[in-house]
A = this chain, B = another copy of it.
Amino acid sequence: MTPDRAPTAGTEPPRMRADARRNREQILRAAREVFAAQGPDAPLDEIARRAGVGVATLYRRFPDRADLIRGVAIDVLTALGEAALTARDAEVEPFEALRTFMHAALDLKLGSVMPALIGRLEADDVLDGVRQDAADPVQELVTQAQAAGTLRPDVRFGDLPLMLMRVSRPLAGGQLAEDSALAHRQLEIYLDGLRAPGTCDQRATLPGPAVDLGWFKRIRTRLIGHQSPSRPRA
C-alpha cells in the first residue's frame, strides 16, 4: 500500500527499522481517518493518539503538517490506482468493473480524505505521477463502459470521483455504526442512475440497511446529546 521508503520518497533506500515502518503506516492510517473526519487542521496530537504512538514519533516521521498531508495523499492515491487496476482485471463487463471499483474505493475511505486535503497540497512531481496513475485507469473504465453501451453516454469522468468524495464522507462525524453499509447502499442507487437507458433490468437488489422513517428517527435519537466524553472536538 505504501512504499517502504522514507517520508519524502526520493532515490535513497534507507531501509527503516521494522517497527519504525510499522508505526509510519499506522500514522498514515490514523491521519487518513482523522483528516477525513475533521479536516486538514485536525490536531496532530489526536492523530498520534489514534495511531497509538507518541507525538514525537509523528514529528520525527513527518517534520511538519505539510509533510504529513503529502504522505497521506500519496498513500491514498496509490491505493486508488491499485483498486482501479484490480477492478479492471477482475471483471469482464466494464460497467461491472466500474461498480466494483467504486465500492472498493468507498471501502478505502479514499474519496473522503482528498477533498479535505486538496487545498493544502503543493504541486509535486511524485504526487502528480501518482495522480496520473490513479486517474487514468478510471478514465479507461469509463470509456470502455460507454463503448459497451452499459454506461449512460452523458456522464463524464468527474461524476465518479466527485460522487465518491460525497458518498464516502462519514455522515455524523463517524459516530454512526451503519455508516459504511449505508454509503454502499446509496452508492448502489447512484450506480443504477449511471446505467445506460435500457439496461435498468440489470439492476441488482439494493444492499445494506433499508432505513425507514422509524429507523431514521431512532438513528437520530441515538446520536442526540452524544457529549463526546473524551473528544469534544469537531
A residues with CB within 8 A of B: 38-42, 115, 118-119, 121-123, 131, 135, 139, 154-159, 161-163, 165-167, 169, 171-173, 175, 182-183, 185-186, 188-195, 197-198, 200-201, 203, 205-206, 210-213, 215-217, 219-221, 223-226, 228, 232-234
Contacts and interface: CB of A to CB of B under 8 A. Distances in A.
Given A156-B210, A162-B211, A234-B39, A224 B122 contact: yes
Q: List the 4 shortest-distance A-B pairs measured between CB atoms, nearest first.
A: A158-B211, A193-B193, A192-B193, A39-B234
A53 to B, nearest CB: 23
B139 A162 contact: no
Contacts of A155: 189, 206, 210
A171 to B, nearest CB: 5
A121 to B, nearest CB: 5
Contacts of A123: 221, 224-225
A215 B157 CA distance: 9
Given A211-B159, A234-B38, A189 B194 contact: yes
